C-alpha cells in the first residue's frame, strides 16, 4: 500500500513537472468541476462563462485579451458573463449587471462600467450610485428602474451566490468551459508561479484554447 501511494505521488509530480499553459494538466492549469453544470449552448458550440466583478482589477486587466480571444473563437464558443455577488444578495455591482443584462445593454455598456471603476475611480456602491450612473450614460430612468426592480432581476440576484458555488468559483476572473472545466489567473499562477502578469494572461488563454479543443473532442465522441 505504501508503494502504491508513493507511486501515485511520483506520477503526480511528474505530470505537474511537465504541465504548462500549452500543455495544461488537470489539477494544475485547470480543474474539473466536481458536479458538471448544464450548458445553454447548442450544436458544436462550446459554452464559455466568465465569472467576474466590476470592481475586480484582474477582471479589468484581462478584458482586452478576453474580448480578443472570444472574437478569435468565432462560432466555436458561446460566451456569457456572470457577476459574482461580492457583498451577498444585495450586492450593488451584481444588481447593476443584471439590470443592464435584462435591458440587453450589458454587452454594449460593459466597458463603460469598467471605465467608471478603474479609470475614473468612481465606485458604484449602492442603488443611488447605479441610478446616477445609468442617467449619466443616457439610459431612460423609468426603463432602468423597471428592470432594476423587476421580479426577474431580484430573483436572479438572490441566486448568484449559489450559482458561483455550483461552479466552484472562489476568485475572479474565473473561466468555465463547457460546464466541466475551470481555469483562472490564480489557478495558473499556482502551477506556474514564475509567470509575470502579461504571461499569466497569455497563458490563461492558451489553457482556454486547449480546453475548448478538449470539449469539442468530447462532444464529437458522444
CATH of the domain at 132: 3.40.30.10
CB-based contact 59:199 (threshold 8 Å): no
Instruction: Give the DSSP per-residue string, 89-116.
Output: GG-HHHHHHHHHHHTT-HHHHHHHHHHH
pLDDT the model gives residue 175 = 98
Q: SS in 3 state form for 115-165?
A: HHHHCCCCCCCCHHHHHHHHHHCCCCHHHHHHHHCCHHHHHHHHHHHHHHH
Q: Rg for the chain (alpha carbons), in Å?
A: 19
Tally of domains in the chain = 1
pLDDT the model gives residue 157 = 98
pTM above 0.85, yes or no: yes
pLDDT the model gives residue 136 = 98
The parent domain of residue 178 ranges over 2-221
pLDDT the model gives residue 221 = 64
The position carrying cell 472574437 is 71
In a 13 Å sphere around the CA of 208, the CA atoms on its Cβ side amount to 27
Q: What are all long-range contacts of 17-20, with beta carbons under 8 Å and residues at least 24 apart?
A: 19/191, 19/192, 20/192, 20/203
- pLDDT-above-70 percentage for the chain: 90
CA gap 183, 219 in Å, rounded: 20
Peptide bond between residue 163 and the one before it cis (omega within 30 degrees of 0): no
CA gap 99, 117 in Å, rounded: 18
One pLDDT digit (tens) per residue for the chain, 222 residues: 333 333 333 343 434 444 568 889 999 999 999 999 999 988 889 999 999 999 999 999 999 999 999 999 999 999 999 999 999 999 999 999 999 999 999 999 999 999 999 999 999 999 999 999 999 999 999 999 999 999 999 999 999 999 999 999 999 999 999 999 999 999 999 988 998 999 999 999 999 999 999 999 998 766
pLDDT the model gives residue 20 = 65
Amino acid at each position: 500500500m505504501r508503494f502504491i501511494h508513493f507511486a501515485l505521488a511520483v506520477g503526480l509530480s511528474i505530470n505537474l513537472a511537465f504541465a504548462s499553459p500549452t500543455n495544461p494538466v488537470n489539477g494544475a492549469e485547470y480543474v474539473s468541476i466536481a458536479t458538471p453544470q448544464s450548458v445553454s449552448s447548442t450544436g458544436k458550440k462550446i459554452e464559455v462563462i466568465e465569472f467576474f466583478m466590476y470592481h475586480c482589477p484582474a477582471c479589468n486587466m484581462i478584458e482586452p485579451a478576453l474580448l480578443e480571444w472570444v472574437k478569435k473563437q468565432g462560432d466555436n464558443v458561446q460566451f456569457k458573463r456572470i457577476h459574482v455577488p461580492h457583498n451577498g444578495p444585495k450586492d450593488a455591482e451584481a444588481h447593476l449587471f443584471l439590470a443592464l443584462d435584462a435591458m440587453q445593454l450589458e454587452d454594449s455598456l460593459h466597458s463603460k462600467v469598467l471605465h467608471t471603476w478603474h479609470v475614473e475611480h468612481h465606485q458604484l456602491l449602492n442603488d443611488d450610485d447605479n441610478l446616477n450612473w445609468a442617467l449619466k450614460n443616457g439610459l431612460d430612468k423609468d426603463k432602468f428602474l423597471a428592470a432594476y426592480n423587476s421580479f426577474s432581476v431580484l430573483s436572479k440576484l438572490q441566486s448568484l451566490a449559489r450559482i458561483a458555488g455550483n461552479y466552484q468559483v472562489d476568485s475572479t476572473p474565473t473561466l468555465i468551459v463547457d460546464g466541466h472545466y475551470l481555469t483562472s489567473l490564480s489557478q495558473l499562477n499556482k502551477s506556474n508561479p514564475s509567470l509575470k502578469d502579461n504571461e499569466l494572461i497569455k497563458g490563461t488563454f492558451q489553457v482556454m484554447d486547449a480546453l475548448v479543443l478538449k470539449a469539442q473532442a468530447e462532444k464529437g465522441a458522444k
